[in-house]
């Protein structure tokens, strides 16, 4: 990502990165990047396959033996980014909508990396006996979703495709566990949700998908950190990317073992994990590309146009660029 994406409002941060790139330009230099931190607190969700694999394998503990790795699980992205913004975690993975809401609220978060799109990994579900057959049938209905999550953006796009306004249905804002209970008891008519909750509900309750994210939302996944962490530990971030990509390679080439690791962690049935992984493409981790930034800007613009954000945001303002010449630590 070009440093041109750093706006004038972030010049102080950009100047820090430029200075860092000069200081750490050579991995063999005595003025090498700062060592790994004493503690690294990682936020993750059940959907964060690569992070779950690293956790289960103890890979980061082996890579950074002098760093205490602390893992904190969150039910969804908004809760995770709140923790990141107040300094409770250093690094985490979330979907497309949470960073947009965090930026609009002035939270201290920066995009540092991304995985490829996963449009098949989210859906709007109805029960097997529901009379709803199309997205247009959502008019006048109750739909459960996590506010500020990727499911929120999927709902925005689904309504637009159906020719419906936000006022044409009733959003019921619930975290995944509560949404599942409301869905199962039929207190809501539909549920916008991501994997592995999507797959688990499909297989255990025989739920139907009115639509997946295909043609609606790329369902991008982003790694975020605080500005301070990105500035002080750029080599650690690149090292995390390397480990995350290795974890993805493990998932692709050792599927039975990956299924067992994820099932043991999540207590999900192996069949659920298997289908969840089938819907997930290869997911190496890398800094954001211009195309990914543009895609994320479309997410921000859609929420703002609906009046769901308090102000317009420029995604590129909080995109981190690795200093040149670094090697992963």
Question: Residue 35: what pLDDT?
Answer: 84
Question: Residue 34: what pLDDT?
Answer: 60
- What pLDDT, in 10s, does the model give residues 71-103? 999 999 999 999 999 999 999 999 999 999 999
> In angstroms, rounded to a whole number, what is the distance separating the alpha carbons of residues 244 and 115?
10
- What pLDDT, in 10s, does the model give residues 108-129? 999 999 999 999 999 999 999 9
Contact yes or no for 124/191 (Cβ under 8 A): yes
- What pLDDT, in 10s, does the model give residues 132-156? 999 999 999 999 999 999 999 999 9
What the block records as the tokens of 228 is 């301070």
244: phi then psi, degrees, rounded to nearest 5 = -65, -40
pLDDT of residue 12 exceeding 50 = no
pLDDT (average), residues 323-329: 89
- Please report, for the chain, the start and end positions of each structural domain, with discontinuous segments joined by +: 3-117+220-318, 119-212
- What pLDDT, in 10s, does the model give residues 169-217? 999 999 999 999 999 999 999 999 999 999 999 999 999 999 999 999 9
> In angstroms, rounded to a whole number, what is the distance separating the alpha carbons of residues 115 and 103?
20
- What pLDDT, in 10s, does the model give residues 28-60? 333 334 689 999 999 999 999 999 999 999 999
Question: Residue 33: what pLDDT?
Answer: 46
pLDDT (average), residues 284-306: 96
Question: Residue 179: what pLDDT?
Answer: 97
16 versus 184: the higher-pLDDT residue is 184
Q: What is the 3-state secondary structure (H, E, C) of 152-199?
A: HHHHHHHHHHHCCCHHHCEEEECCHHHHHHHHHCCCCCEEEEECCHHH
Task: Look up the CATH superfamily of 119-212.
Answer: Periplasmic binding protein-like II (3.40.190.10)
pLDDT of residue 14 exceeding 80 = no
3-117+220-318 matches 119-212 in fold: yes
pLDDT (average), residues 228-234: 95
CATH 3.40.1530.20 fits 3-117+220-318, yes or no: no
pLDDT (average), residues 278-286: 95
Distances (CA, A) of 246 to 47, 51, 146: 17, 11, 31
> In angstroms, rounded to a whole number, what is the distance separating the alpha carbons of residues 98 and 82?
9
What the block records as the tokens of 129 is 């006996």
């Amino acid at each position: 990502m070009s440093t041109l994406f750093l706006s004038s409002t972030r010049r102080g941060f950009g100047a820090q990165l430029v200075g860092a790139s000069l200081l750490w330009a050579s991995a063999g230099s005595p003025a090498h990047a700062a060592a790994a931190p004493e503690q690294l607190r990682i936020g993750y969700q059940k959907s964060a396959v690569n992070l779950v694999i690293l956790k289960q394998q103890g890979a980061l503990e082996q890579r950074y033996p002098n760093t205490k790795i602390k893992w904190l699980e969150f039910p969804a992205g908004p809760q995770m980014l709140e923790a990141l913004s107040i300094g409770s975690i250093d690094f985490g993975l979330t979907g497309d909508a949470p960073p947009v809401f965090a930026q609009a609220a002035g939270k201290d978060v920066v995009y540092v990396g991304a995985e490829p799109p996963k449009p098949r990994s989210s859906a709007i579900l109805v029960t097997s006996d529901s009379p709803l057959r199309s997205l247009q049938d959502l008019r006048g209905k109750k739909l459960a979703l996590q506010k500020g999550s990727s499911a929120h953006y999927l709902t925005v796009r689904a309504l637009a495709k159906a020719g419906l306004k936000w006022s044409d249905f009733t959003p019921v804002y619930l975290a995944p566990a509560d949404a599942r209970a409301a869905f199962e008891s039929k207190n809501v008519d539909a549920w916008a949700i991501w994997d592995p909750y999507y797959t688990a509900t499909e297989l255990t309750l025989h739920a139907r998908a009115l639509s997946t994210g295909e043609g609606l939302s790329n369902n991008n996944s982003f790694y975020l950190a605080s500005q301070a962490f990105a500035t002080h530990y750029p080599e650690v971030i690149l090292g995390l990317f390397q480990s995350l990509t290795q974890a993805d390679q493990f998932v692709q080439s050792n599927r039975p073992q990956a299924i067992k690791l994820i099932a043991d962690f999540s207590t999900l049935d192996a069949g659920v994990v298997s289908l969840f992984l089938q819907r997930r493409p290869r997911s190496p981790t890398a800094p954001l590309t211009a195309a990914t930034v543009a895609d994320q800007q479309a997410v921000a613009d859609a929420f703002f146009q609906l009046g769901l954000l308090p102000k317009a945001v420029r995604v590129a303002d909080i995109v981190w660029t690795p200093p040149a010449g670094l090697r992963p630590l």
